[in-house]
Chains A and B, each alone.
Chain A
Amino acid sequence: MKPISWLRTLVPGLLLGFTVARLGFADFNELHRMLLFRDLRLLLAFATAVTLTIILFRIFQRKLKLAPVALHKGTIPGAALFGLGWAVTGVCPGVALIQLGQGIWLSLATLSGIFVGIAFHTRFQKTLGTAAGGC
């Protein structure tokens, strides 16, 4: 199975963007209500996705040889800073792109911030220490 190379990433990207948006994950109101436990729909969706992914990885584990995710000194503090930024902006990296696709021009402010944050991390990567794997 070897599809045209650029479809290998374009199609999953399209499906990811479409699904996240149609779920309401790109909507600050929906995310904020989830984080306040006022609406459990998105939490259920996320839990379902993870559960099904665990099963699918079990099924396909022979085909996949992915490197294990390494624990390093940035894993926890980095996640904490992301959690803070997520609650404030309502945006995880993919959602910033989705909002831009929906013509929400304010998302350019979020996206610029994200790129500044990435650049800042790259600049101080040696001091901060980060996993080599990039996801």
Chain B
Amino acid sequence: MTNNYWPWWVGGGLLAIVAIAFPLLNGAPLGVSGALARLLHWRSEKPTGNPPTNQRLENLLFLVGILVGGAIAGWVGGQPLGSGAKLSTEFYRLFGSGVRAVLALFAGGILVGFGTRWSGGCTSGHGLSGCGRLQPPSLIATAVFFGVAIAVSFVLERVLS
């Protein structure tokens, strides 16, 4: 896939529109990790205590929208569904392929799922929405996950490459 990604100001502007449109339309802050938790615990009435988006169909459609939006973007960007899409080259360089890649992704995924829920937000909930509302816990959490991710990336380059 060629790197024909958007310039920063286009994407930054649209992300801000999503961050404000979601609460204006739903009365609840934007947040993907919370929506995933509500999907997983769809049987319980109030799994994470965020009533306005607790409607199951709407919660599911938000997540389906992200998935389909990604699919459309892949198609527009010259990587349509079924074209044998792979993860990017740098990932395979660092972690290898096959079982090793699956294990790294699964273990890392556990950290992402557990960490975002324990922290109460992810890149959208804390990073965009929380920071956009200048909420101190979100500003702290965003600084921490960015800081740790930067440090870990430098360590990965030293140790694995």
Contacts and interface: CB of A to CB of B under 8 A. Distances in A.
Nearest to A13: B65
A53 B5 contact: no
Contact of B41 (A50, A92, A122): A122
A78 B65 contact: no
A98 B67 contact: yes
A115 B87 CA distance: 20
Contact of A13 (B66, B130, B141): B66
A16 B11 contact: no
Nearest to B121: A135
A78 B118 contact: yes
B42 interface: no
A49 B19 contact: yes
A121 B125 contact: no
Contacts, number: 489
20 contacts: A9-B53, A12-B18, A16-B124, A17-B65, A26-B70, A32-B88, A69-B126, A75-B141, A76-B140, A79-B142, A85-B111, A85-B115, A93-B32, A100-B67, A101-B66, A110-B105, A116-B109, A117-B112, A132-B48, A134-B37
Interface string A43-68: 01111111111101100100111101
Q: DSSP class of B's interface residues: helix, strand, loop or mixed?
A: helix
Contact of B147 (A23, A44, A83, A118): A83
Nearest to A18: B69
B14 A19 contact: yes
Please tell me the size bucket of the interface on B: 35 or more
A80 B55 CA distance: 30
A52 B129 CA distance: 11
Interface string B143-155: 0111111101110
A88 B111 contact: yes
Interface string A103-132: 110110111111111111110000010111
B69 A82 contact: no
Contacts of B13: 48-49, 52
Contact of A133 (B8, B113, B120, B144): B120
